[in-house]
Amino acid sequence: MSKKDRIFIEIIVGLLLITGAVYFFIKPRRESVWLSGRADVDSGKRVVMGTFARVIGVAADSDTAKRSIEAALAEITRVDELMSDYKEDSEISEVNRDGFERAVKVSEPTYEVLQKAVEFSELTGGAFDVTVGALVDLWRSAEEMNSVPSDAELAEARSRVGYDKLILDSNEMTVRFAAEGMRLDLGGIAKGYAIDRAVEAMQTEGAMGGMIDIGGDIRCFGAPPEGKERWRIGLQDSRAVGGEVGQGQILMVLELTDAAVATSGDYQRFVVIGGQRYSHIIDAESGYSGGELTSVTIIAKGAIEADALATAVSVKGVEGGLALVEQRKEAEAILVTSAPEYELIKSSGAERFIE
């Protein structure tokens, strides 16, 4: 890589303020129309789901490419409106308010994401758990009071967590809680789900290739950018970040075709209590954050799998996390252990994606 390229990439990384991976073009074009009968269109940075998103559409003509990009962004916005727990009127907020009193009817996307969330809970032995909300809230308020939760507080919150207490009725498409005060938190899966739906929307609009990046969770499909053989994704170096957003260096470049990549980590989103950093990813079993890994990057076929597994491996740590990934033929992991070692660990098949 020339020095100029490297400087350019660093600027892009700095601008994006993303959490994990970053898609980059070496040639930063907004729109390129080629004689060969294809157009590459770049949405540029858009604010969705409380972060930055970027969509690139490749199609036979630029109108189709633009339409596919708008369809992707509309789909992402729809998922966010249904599933955000920050939005009072979202379906997830309704379930969180009323789910113990009554079975709450939800739309097909919300039902589907919850069903998938339970599947990932079963697959990961509960390391991924979408009902972790009560513990997330407890750690947030612990940060405000600057004191670590007591054992009693942790036990109480844990009694309100557990995917086995989430009752899904597929005939009625309803969601219900078996324990009072349970709370869903889709923070570890909604971006991945939104990306997969957005890819479908782009294909329906006629895109022959594309890339969707929501806050560093990325999926690319079909025809890569003109003149390239694969999509190139830069992984941010969590060691250089050290909690300072936008200080990123590139750890490595991944080359992908029809694949997704997601990164979870404690290096940009965490709580600080008494000067000590705690990850925003919590082990539902212990009530604490794992703390063994600074960053977990998962490469998988679909974005929902990459997203959920990245969260699960963060909880499971090096040994359990690698065992989980090795057992999934299509998934690979790139791990960075915590300070001061910052050891780089890759699953057995990861190398084939690394430039």
Contact residues for ligand ADP (CB under 6 A)?
19, 128-130, 132, 136, 185, 187-188, 264, 269, 280-282, 284, 307, 310-311, 314-315
Q: Which is nearer to ligand ADP, 111 or 193 (CB)?
A: 193
Tell me the residue type at 342.
Y
Nearest-angstrom CA–CA distance, 52 and 72: 14
Q: Which is nearer to ligand ADP, 49 or 106 (CB)?
A: 49
Q: Which is nearer to ligand ADP, 67 or 316 (CB)?
A: 316
Q: Which is nearer to ligand ADP, 67 or 280 (CB)?
A: 280
Task: Tell me the two tokens of residue 121.
Answer: 């809970």
192-220: string of b/e by CB count within 10 Å (b at 16+)?
A: bbbbbbbbebbbebbbbbbbbbbbbbbbb
Q: Which residues bind Mg ion (CB under 5 A)?
A: 188, 307, 310-311
Minimum distance from residue 348 beta carbon to ligand ADP (Å): 23
Task: Tell me the two tokens of residue 62.
Answer: 């630029």
Minimum distance from residue 35 beta carbon to ligand ADP (Å): 40
Question: Going by C-beta distance under 8 Å and a sequence separation of 6 or more, which residues neighbour residue 310?
Answer: 188, 262, 263, 264, 296, 297, 298
Q: Which is nearer to ligand ADP, 202 or 214 (CB)?
A: 214
Asked whether 64 and 207 are in contact (CB, 8 A), the reply is: yes
Minimum distance from residue 83 beta carbon to ligand ADP (Å): 12
Within 13 A of 304's CA, how many CA atoms are on the CB side? 20
Minimum distance from residue 308 beta carbon to Mg ion (Å): 6
Nearest-angstrom CA–CA distance, 160 and 55: 38
By Cβ distance, which residue is nearest to Mg ion?
311
Minimum distance from residue 271 beta carbon to Mg ion (Å): 17
